[in-house]
Amino acid sequence: MEKILLHIVTLTQSVTQAQNFAVVLGEENGNRRLPIVIGNAEAQAIAVALEGMVPTRPLTHDLFKNTLDTFGIVLEEVRISELLDGIFYAKLICSFQGDILEVDARSSDAIALAVRFECPIYTYEKVLAEAGIVLSENEDKPKKVARKKAEKKGLTGYTTKELNDLLGKTVASEDYEKAAQIRDELTRRSKGS
C-alpha cells in the first residue's frame, strides 16, 4: 500500500466537539485535509513542540522521546494507519539495532512524537478517502505550520507579539503556569529590564 505524506496544517479548537481540539493534516501533493479530533492535553503537547518551547520539566511526550533516545531507538515515521468506527489508529515505526519495529499508538500521541522527532507523518489512500476533506480550487490553501527550531530557547526567543499570541493560546488551553511565565516575561520587557 502506497503511503501519502502529510504535514500539520493547523491546530485549532474543534467545531464538532466542545472542549476538544483538532489537528488538521494536509497531504503533501494535493488539496485534501485530514482533521483529527484530539484532547486538550495532546493539543498542548503538539503546540509546545511546534512552538519550540522548552518546558522547565519534561512533558510526557518529551519523557518518552528522551527514553527512546537513551536506549538508541529512533522514531523513523508515524503512520495514521486506519480509521475504524470514527477512531484513527496510528503506528510508530521505530528502528533499533537494525530492526524495524511497529508500535501501536493513539494518533494524537503519535503526532506529538512526530513533531518532537521531526519525522514524517504518513497515511494511506483508504484513510484519506474515508475521512479526508477536499479543498475546492477557489479556497485558499492553509500554510503548513512550521516548527520553530531550537534556536528559540525559552521565552526570550519570542517577539512581544508572538508572546501575546502565545499568552492567548495558553490561557485558552488552561495552561495557567505557562501563561504566568509568559506574563512575567512580558512584564519584564515592559519595564525594560
The residue written with cell numbers 504535514 in the block is 7
From the number of C-beta atoms within 10 Å of its C-beta (0-12, 13-18, 19+), residue 56 rates as exposed
**Stretch 107-135: mean pLDDT:** 92
Q: Are residues 64 and 141 in the same domain?
A: yes
From 132, 147, 162, the end of a domain falls on 147
Q: How confident is the model at residue 150 (pLDDT cuts 50, 70, 90)?
A: very low
Report if pTM > 0.75: no
Tell whether the model's pLDDT for residue 116 goes beyond 50.
yes
Tell whether the model's pLDDT for residue 153 goes beyond 60.
no
CA distances (Å), 185 to each of 150, 181, 190, 191, in order? 19, 6, 9, 10
Per-residue confidence (pLDDT) for residue 143, from 0 to 100 = 45
Give per-residue pLDDT as tens, 26-67.
998 888 999 998 988 888 889 888 888 887 888 889 899 999
Range of lowest pLDDT (51-65, 109-123, 133-147): 133-147
**Stretch 78-98: mean pLDDT:** 95
Q: Are residues 112 and 52 in the same domain?
A: yes
Q: How confident is the model at residue 146 (pLDDT cuts 50, 70, 90)?
A: very low
Cell numbers linked to 143: 500554510
Higher model confidence: residue 120 or residue 185? 120
CATH number at residue 13: 3.10.690.10
Q: Are residues 128 and 44 in the same domain?
A: yes
Torsion of CA 177, 49, 90, 22, to 10 degrees: 60
Q: How confident is the model at residue 188 (pLDDT cuts 50, 70, 90)?
A: confident
Tell whether the model's pLDDT for residue 141 goes beyond 60.
no
Closest CA to 120 of 31, 16, 3, 2: 3
Q: Are residues 37 and 17 in the same domain?
A: yes
Question: Which helix (H) or strand (E) covers residue 21, if one does?
Answer: strand 21-27
Per-residue confidence (pLDDT) for residue 140, from 0 to 100 = 47
Per-residue confidence (pLDDT) for residue 114, from 0 to 100 = 95
Q: Are residues 9 and 63 in the same domain?
A: yes
DSSP 3-state of 135:
coil
Q: Are residues 16 and 86 in the same domain?
A: yes
CB atoms closer than 10 angstroms to residue 168: 12
Q: What is the DSSP letter of 158?
A: S
Q: Are residues 75 and 164 in the same domain?
A: no
CB atoms closer than 10 angstroms to residue 178: 21
Q: Are residues 141 and 167 in the same domain?
A: no
Say how many domains are in the chain: 2
Per-residue confidence (pLDDT) for residue 142, from 0 to 100 = 46
Q: Are residues 128 and 168 in the same domain?
A: no
Q: Are residues 123 and 55 in the same domain?
A: yes
Q: Are residues 186 and 120 in the same domain?
A: no
106-135 burial, b at 16+ Cβ within 10 Å, e below that, comes to: bbbbbbbbbbbbebbbbbbeebbeebbeee
Q: Are residues 170 and 96 in the same domain?
A: no
Domain that holds residue 58: 3-147
